[in-house]
């Protein structure tokens, strides 16, 4: 049964869309989006629409007070006609936790999945088929009520937009240790996927890029001695042959890729420790060789090898090995995400078929 509406123009927008060869990450936006509104304490009926500008009040709390939380996930279609999602229910749970932290209404799981299925199902033929490429899906929830009063909105909107993407970074990245700014404090919104965290990180991210690095490495908001994460990725180190990652401290985003790698590495018999990671200790371990390798992980990058940590004074800390353990884990995880091997964890699920009334349902039948 179709439980969302299809706006005029969707079929034409899909028909006109050609996926270019060069995708980058977010350079190309898919021609459809999903939108559903919340008012009077309840979610309305969703709509699939052509991708286009939307109207929001200039005074909306999303614009004025960053009342906005989001997710990032991918649909994969490697060697198959129909795409699948990866741990979509976990993204839904994390969005609900983020919403709860900002005292916004949760998006119920059936509605969250309907939105993803609507967008990824309509775009099924445009989901890239080559390994490493995917359809990036960006669900986001924001407060639409206008007003300066410091309280939550009473009206909200949940949307999903999408982009066919290449891997976020190819090759080993350099990472700038951020010694001045802090991204998130315990008790704040760091462990929520809240737009405000990214606003706090943009100055350092821009400075990192200006210094030839891909991204900034964040330290704790107190004495700035303990590693948290990167601006859009979690961090792993190979220390004395085992994997070590910062323990979730209440300010780190609990990455779904991080959690998947912990489970996958343990399943493969590797040692994994979640613990406090002081930056000075890690730099000494790189110098002594005890830390042999570093890598970052996230939905966008999957697993990204790190060539060097660069300090504020330009000192470079380069581990002896680059992309050894990381390459193995990347391939093992990607093979599950892309359904090239059996999925022992039950992490993947098919995108639901479009409703029979959708004009593109016949085109993608089979």
> Could you give the CA distance from residue 328 to residue 340 in angstroms, rounded to a whole number?
15
If binding is defined by CB under 6 A, does position 354 make contact with ligand PLP? no
Within 8 A by CB and 6+ apart from 342, the residues are: none
Structure tokens at 92: 């839904």
Task: Give kind and range of the element (H or E) at residue 98.
Answer: helix 88-101
For 155-192, b/e burial (b = at least 16 CB within 10 A) is ebbbbbbbbbbbbbbeebbbbbbbeebbbbeeebbbbb
Nearest-approach distance from CB 326 to ligand PLP, in angstroms: 15
Q: 298 in helix, strand or coil?
A: strand
Q: Does 253 bind ligand PLP (CB under 6 A)?
A: yes
Under the criterion CB under 6 A, does residue 72 sit at the interface with ligand PLP? yes
Contacts of 151 (CB under 8 A, 6+ apart): none
Nearer to ligand PLP, 98 or 234 (CB): 234
- Minimum CB distance to ligand PLP, residue 286 (Å): 22
Shortest Å, Cβ 109 to ligand PLP:
17
From candidates 98, 153, 205, 257, binder to ligand PLP by CB under 6 A: 257
Scanning residues 221 to 250, which ones bind ligand PLP (CB under 6 A)? 229, 232-234
Query: If binding is defined by CB under 6 A, does position 167 make contact with ligand PLP?
Result: no
Tell me the backbone φ, ψ of residue 214, rounded to 5 degrees: -80, -30
125 binds ligand PLP (CB under 6 A): no
- 255 is a site residue for ligand PLP (CB under 6 A): yes
Is 292 in a helix, a strand, or coil? strand
The minimum distance between CB 105 and ligand PLP, in angstroms, equals: 22
Task: State the minimum distance, in angstroms, from the CB of residue 248 to ligand PLP.
Answer: 11
Distance of CA 165 to the CA centre of its chain: 13
- 257 or 292: CB nearest ligand PLP: 257
Q: Quick check: 256 binds ligand PLP (CB under 6 A)?
A: yes
Does position 204 bind ligand PLP by CB under 6 A?
no
SS (H, E, C) 137-203: EEEEEEECCECCCCCCCCCEEEEEEEEEECCCCCCCEEEEECCCCCCCCCCCCCCCCEHHHHHHHHH
CB of 73 to ligand PLP, least distance (A): 8
Dist CA 168 CA 302 (whole Å): 8
State the nearest-atom distance from the C-beta of 242 to ligand PLP, in Å. 21
**Contact letters for ligand PLP, residues 323-352 (x by CB under 6 A):** ------------------------------
Q: Which residues bind ligand PLP (CB under 6 A)?
A: 72, 229, 232-234, 253, 255-258, 298-299
């Amino acid at each position: 049964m179709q439980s969302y509406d299809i706006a005029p123009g969707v079929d034409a927008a899909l028909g006109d869309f050609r996926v270019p060869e060069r995708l980058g990450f977010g350079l190309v936006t898919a021609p459809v989006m999903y939108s559903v509104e919340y008012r009077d304490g309840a979610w309305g009926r969703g709509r699939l629409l052509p991708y286009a500008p939307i109207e929001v009040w200039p005074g909306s709390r999303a614009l004025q007070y960053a009342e906005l939380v989001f997710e990032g996930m991918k649909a994969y279609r490697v060697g198959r006609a129909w795409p699948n999602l990866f741990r979509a229910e976990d993204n839904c749970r994390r969005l609900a936790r983020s919403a709860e932290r900002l005292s916004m209404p949760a998006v119920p799981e059936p509605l969250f999945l309907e939105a993803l299925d609507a967008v990824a199902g309509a775009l099924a033929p445009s989901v890239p088929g080559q390994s490493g490429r995917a359809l990036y899906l960006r669900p986001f929830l924001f407060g639409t009520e206008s007003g300066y009063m410091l309280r939550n909105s009473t009206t909200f909107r949940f949307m999903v937009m999408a982009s066919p993407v290449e891997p976020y970074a190819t090759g080993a990245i350099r990472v700038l240790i951020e010694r001045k700014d802090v991204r998130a404090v315990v008790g704040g919104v760091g462990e929520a996927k809240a737009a405000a965290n990214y606003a706090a990180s943009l100055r350092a991210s821009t400075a990192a890029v200006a210094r030839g690095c891909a991204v900034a490495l964040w330290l704790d908001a107190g004495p700035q001695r303990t590693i948290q994460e990167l601006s859009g990725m979690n961090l792993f180190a190979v220390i004395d042959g085992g994997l070590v990652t910062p323990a979730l401290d209440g300010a780190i985003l609990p990455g779904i890729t991080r959690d998947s790698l912990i489970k996958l590495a343990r399943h493969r018999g590797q040692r994994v420790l979640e613990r406090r990671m002081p930056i000075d200790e890690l730099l000494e371990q790189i110098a002594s060789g005890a830390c042999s390798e570093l890598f970052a992980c996230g939905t966008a990058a999957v697993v990204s090898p790190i060539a060097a940590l660069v300090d504020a004074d330009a000192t470079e800390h380069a581990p002896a090995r680059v992309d050894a353990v990381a390459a193995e884990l990347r391939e093992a995880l990607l093979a599950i995400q892309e359904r090239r091997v059996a999925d022992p964890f039950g992490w993947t699920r098919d995108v639901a078929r479009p409703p029979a009334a959708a004009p593109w349902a016949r085109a993608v039948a089979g």
